[in-house]
């Protein structure tokens, strides 16, 4: 029997600080999390537009002893997972074994800060030894392991690393485990903390980052804009509690939305150049999995990173799949306001999509004054949020280096949920 999958909890570490709902309200207002940022590395600090969760205090969330065993990416992930778990009505201090509950987590880079700190100690500071915690701080499954241990999740502890589609893939694969009856509850999401010297210089070398401009850092990311200059790196985390629908009903949980479909493909063409064909297949698979026609989709939270090649390729895929419905299809790229949080982005954007449907308010693509002619053909939400559209069904797109594509179909019936 194929089971319906309910979304019963949301959690997010907001660069604004404050609650998930507050984060969404500020996105609706077109506010940007992007700031002019200087890395902590001395003496070779880097200045750039970036997104950082400056108000995040890990010791206050999990205690100093536990936070000391985590890299920043895992700290961010644990905090988002804890909020989502509590939001879903589960006790965060209950470590009893839960064999029907599991975790699936995405990260593009894992414990990058821990590894860079170790390399600096060895090669720059001349030390012979590094922290004995380096391996467990840096490993890509650290976040999922900590979440499973602290919440007593005995079903599965899975980690996914497919670049910038990591969190969306983790959510999609968790959804599949519930659909097939392998788990009743899955805590899924993603986190990344890439703001360190080595990672930033690597992304600079690819020539895909938005140029620095101290006076206009908040407007640095302009997806689909004619004058876009590239992506803005950021750190963050988000989590969703996915649950067998009947399981949620039986325990009286509030159902926020339904995760109705998932499509995953590989472009199999190029490591960094996107391919519309692979994206088209991922969108079509998500629609088929959800039993939806293209004309039933009201809104798309686009991958939209503001790169020269990525944006028009995504719009090309949308025009192909949605055909005559494309001009009516509401599309926005919220990375214009929260930046590109790497492996966390798919989870952050899934949370935004759930809230957009629940509140009947679609966030805009901010900062775009003139649309790139190569990106026309869909209904871009420029200039402000769209309220009262009656949107009920949406897709959240995540497309990544390596050609990995992950698309989530989310549906809400405000009367049912």
Residue 413 CB neighbour total at 10 angstroms: 12
Token couple for 171: 């959510």
Q: What are phi and psi of 220, to 5 degrees?
A: -65, -30
Among 339, 304, 11, which Cα is nearest to 143's? 11
- Chain mean position to CA 407: 12
Nearest-5° Cα angle at 117, 114 to 118? 90
Return the closest-CA partner of residue 170 out of 404, 406, 12, 339.
Answer: 406
Q: Is 270 a catalytic residue?
A: no
H-only helix segments in 88-165: 112-119, 134-138, 142-151
Give the angle subtended at the CA of 213 by the CAs of 209 and 219, to the nearest 5°.
75
Beta strand 379-380 with 299-301 is: unpaired
Annotated active-site residue in 33, 164, 196, 221 = 164
Q: Which of 87, 146, 338, 340 is catalytic?
A: 340
How far apart CA 351 and CA 28 sit, in angstroms, is: 14
Q: State the helix-helix crossing angle for 197-206 and 112-119, rounded to 10 degrees.
A: 110
- Of the residues 146, 303, 367, 380, only one is catalytic, namely 303
338 is catalytic: no
303: annotated active-site residue? yes
Q: What is the 3-state secondary structure (H, E, C) of 238-295?
A: EEEEEEEHHHHHHCCCCCCEEEEEEEEEECCCCCCCCCHHHHHHHHHHHHHHHCCCHH
Rounded Cα distance between 55 and 36, Å, is: 16
Active centre residues (catalytic)? 164, 303, 340
């Amino acid at each position: 029997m194929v089971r319906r999958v309910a979304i019963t909890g949301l959690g997010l570490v907001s660069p604004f600080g404050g609650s998930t709902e507050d984060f969404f309200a500020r996105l609706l207002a077109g506010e940007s999390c992007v700031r002019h940022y200087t890395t902590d590395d001395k003496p070779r600090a880097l200045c750039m537009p970036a997104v950082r969760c400056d108000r995040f205090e890990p010791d206050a969330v999990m205690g100093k002893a536990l936070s000391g065993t985590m890299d920043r990416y895992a700290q961010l992930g644990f905090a988002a997972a804890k909020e989502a778990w509590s939001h879903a009505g589960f006790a965060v201090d209950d470590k009893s074994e839960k064999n029907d509950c599991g975790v699936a987590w995405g990260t593009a880079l894992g414990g990058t800060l821990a590894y860079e700190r170790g390399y600096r100690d060895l090669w720059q500071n001349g030390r012979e030894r590094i922290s004995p915690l380096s391996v467990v701080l840096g490993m890509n499954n650290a976040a999922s392991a900590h979440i499973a241990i602290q919440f007593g999740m005995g079903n599965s502890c899975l980690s996914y690393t497919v670049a910038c589609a990591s969190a969306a893939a983790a959510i999609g694969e968790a959804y599949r485990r519930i659909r097939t009856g392998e788990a009743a509850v899955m805590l899924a999401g993603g986190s990344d903390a890439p703001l360190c010297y080595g990672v930033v210089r690597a992304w600079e070398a690819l020539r895909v980052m938005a140029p620095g401009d101290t006076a206009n850092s908040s407007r640095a990311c302009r997806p689909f804009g004619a004058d876009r200059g590239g992506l803005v790196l950021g750190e963050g985390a988000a989590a969703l509690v996915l649950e067998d629908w009947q399981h949620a009903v039986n325990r009286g949980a509030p159902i926020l939305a339904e995760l109705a479909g998932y499509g995953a493909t590989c472009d199999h063409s190029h490591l960094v150049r996107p391919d519309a064909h692979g994206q088209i297949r991922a969108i079509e698979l998500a629609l088929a999995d959800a039993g939806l026609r293209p004309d039933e989709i009201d809104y798309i939270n686009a991958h939209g990173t503001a790169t020269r090649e990525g944006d028009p390729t995504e719009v090309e895929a949308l025009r192909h799949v949605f055909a005559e419905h494309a001009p009516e299809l509401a599309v926005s790229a919220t990375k214009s306001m929260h930046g590109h949080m790497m492996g966390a982005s798919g989870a952050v954007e899934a949370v935004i999509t759930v809230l957009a449907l629940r509140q009947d308010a679609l966030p805009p693509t901010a900062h775009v004054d003139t649309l790139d002619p190569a990106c026309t053909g869909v209904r871009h939400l420029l200039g402000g949020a769209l309220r009262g559209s009656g949107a009920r069904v949406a897709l959240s797109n995540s497309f990544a280096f390596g050609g990995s594509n992950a698309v989530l179909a989310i549906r809400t019936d405000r009367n049912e949920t």
